[in-house]
Chain A
Amino acid sequence: MADYREAPLATRPKTLDPNEYFNLSPEQRRAEEARGAVRANLKRQYQLQLNNPHRKELIEDPALTRWVYARANPYAHFRPTNKTSLLGAMFGVVPLFALYYIFKTDRV
């Protein structure tokens, strides 16, 4: 379908209009446009800051701030699950006892 191009002076029939391919409802189309508007606004703010010649500091990205905070504070949101308990035991408890056993038997 992507290779179809209409004849020079003809118009494309309605059924071949790319915007109608997926049979989206009007609500979905409105939501799509609203999201596009938000994206365009964010991009505009970013580009205003990016091209501002008087800017001296870095552009602050709230997503990056949240990500760094999440990487720096794991214990505040820690939840013991099967996987985390297994990992904790495997890397934090078992090696200590294993090493104690190894050193004790090696050095008698």
Chain B
Amino acid sequence: MLKILLPTIMLVPTIWAVPAKYLWSTTLSYSLIISLISLTWLKSSAESGWSFLSPYMATDPLSTPLLALTCWLLPLMILASQNHTAPEPISRQRTYITLLTSLQIFLIMAFSATEVIMFYIMFEATLIPTLVIITRWGNQTERLNAGTYFLFYTLAGSLPLLVALLLLQNNTGTLSLLTLQYTPSMQLSSFADKLWWAGCLLAFLVKMPLYGAHLWLPKAHVEAPIAGSMVLAAVLLKLGGYGMMRMMIMLEPLTKELSYPFIIFALWGVIMTGSICLRQTDLKSLIAYSSVSHMGLVAAGILIQTSWGFTGALILMIAHGLTSSALFCLANTNYERTHSRTMILARGLQMVLPLMTAWWFIASLANLALPPLPNLMGELMIITSLFHWSWWTIALTGGGTLITAGYSLYMFLMTQRGPLPAHIISLDPTHSREHLLMALHLLPLILLISKPELIWGWTA
């Protein structure tokens, strides 16, 4: 564990010490080496499920895919940010990469925490670098509003979580995940117990986000710079899902009754946010709402507490992380050329940038859950386990799949096909850096087709 954490911490002095000419190439190769070493986590061999054990940090088949995704994302973020930070002074560029690295450190510690309070502290700590990235490096004045929404929605949801965790510590004497699964299940029945149940889950539902509390997400995603959007979509939303999956073990038997409203919000949210996507004019906003839609499926899959639901949720989280981040990178290539996120201003790009069209095509197909990509496998497992939970969910999930295909194709056709606007006279050709970025996003996704055991969690 320290093999990964200490090099990531030492990346911060490296950023400040390296000469300016080598800043980006050094940080890129350093973080790429860290991410390749982090792939060793995937080979876990312990009987009890927990590997790489230390007093405070451990990995198990649930956190390992998320840790690998987090570590994989840092070189991608650095690759994506290189162009838009180029006009800034060097110390500001170093600060930016330092923020990304500190986010990485907090995320690694959050996903590998064995003590739930440490997970909570790291969960909160990730808010601060993200807030700084959104409000300082965003491009429009709305970024202040976006940062406020992001911070206060998440904080309002997570304060009850702190109280709930302290109550749990009082009751059971320990908050270590290693032993909490073996404590006898508490007989939860009173109204206070129901409030405790809600307090445990609310923070993660806001973070996922659940449909009713999702307003922070389109604002934060749209106003953030590309690295902020990538890390938000790919990893920070999954913190919510991971937290929910960890807490579910302790929340029996109330979940059977109390989860109904949240499952309903999640499923109706799939339909509603999918429909909003069809009406969007802002490209990043479309991808943000599509994130809400997919995470609604994940939330429903976790809340029904079946093993297929959990597995489907985990697979969909990993696949969606890679796909959503890839789509944001593609939207950023558009934005860097036209400085506008409006879709109708930059249409017909297949004529101008045909190789980028290939990446748009693969990313859009991944978004609409084309078989045999893991997006489909995750969605299929969630949909079938929801069907087992209640037959009527198929109306919502089936309609959701249809609408997802609709808006993914709409996004592809709007940006790539159609007439090229007459007033576009010069676009930069696609940089090799951008091709590399897209390849590094989509190659793991395609490789996961052949070894899904890596990302399907406990049902090994």
Binding site for B on A (CB under 8 A): 49-50, 53, 55-59, 64, 67-68, 71-72, 91-92, 95-96, 99-100, 102-104, 106-107
Contact = CB atoms under 8 A, between A and B. Distances in A.
Contacts of A67: 281
B265 interface: yes
Contacts of B340: 58
Nearest to A99: B264
B339 A96 contact: no
20 contacts: A49-B423, A50-B422, A53-B425, A56-B426, A57-B338, A58-B340, A59-B423, A64-B345, A71-B281, A71-B282, A72-B282, A91-B272, A96-B264, A99-B264, A99-B392, A103-B263, A103-B393, A106-B391, A106-B392, A107-B389
Contacts of B389: 107
B268 interface: yes
A58 B345 contact: yes
Nearest to B338: A58
B305 to A, nearest CB: 13
A8 B43 CA distance: 96
A84 B393 CA distance: 28
B390 interface: yes
Interface string B264-293: 110110001000000011100100000000
Q: Is the interface of A mostly helix, strand, loop or mixed?
A: helix
A104 to B, nearest CB: 7
B255 interface: no
Contact of A72 (B264, B265, B285, B425): B285
A25 B265 CA distance: 63
A108 to B, nearest CB: 10
B375 to A, nearest CB: 25
Contacts of B56: none
B260 interface: yes
Contacts of A99: 264, 267-268, 392, 396
B342 interface: yes
Nearest to A46: B423
B261 interface: yes
Given A50-B423, A56-B426, A100-B261, A68 B342 contact: yes
A100 B389 CA distance: 13
Contacts of A49: 423
Given A58-B424, A68-B282, A96 B338 contact: no
A95 B268 contact: yes
- Residue of A49, A53, A96, A103 with most chain B CB atoms under a 10 A cut-off: A103
A72 B145 CA distance: 13
Contacts of B261: 96, 100
Given A57-B339, A92-B272, A96-B264, 16 more contacts: A50-B422, A58-B339, A58-B424, A64-B342, A68-B282, A68-B342, A71-B281, A95-B268, A99-B267, A100-B261, A100-B264, A103-B390, A103-B393, A106-B390, A106-B391, A106-B392
4 tightest CB-CB pairs across the interface, nearest first?
A: A99-B264, A106-B390, A59-B423, A71-B281
Nearest to A67: B281
Contacts of A57: 338-339
Contacts of A68: 281-282, 342
Contacts of B422: 50
B215 to A, nearest CB: 9
A103 B342 contact: no
B265 A96 contact: yes
Interface in B32-59: none
A96 B261 CA distance: 8
Contacts of A91: 272
Given A58-B338, A58-B345, A103 B423 contact: no
Interface in B241-258: none
A73 to B, nearest CB: 9
Nearest to B393: A103
Nearest to A69: B142
Contacts of B268: 95-96, 99
B331 to A, nearest CB: 15
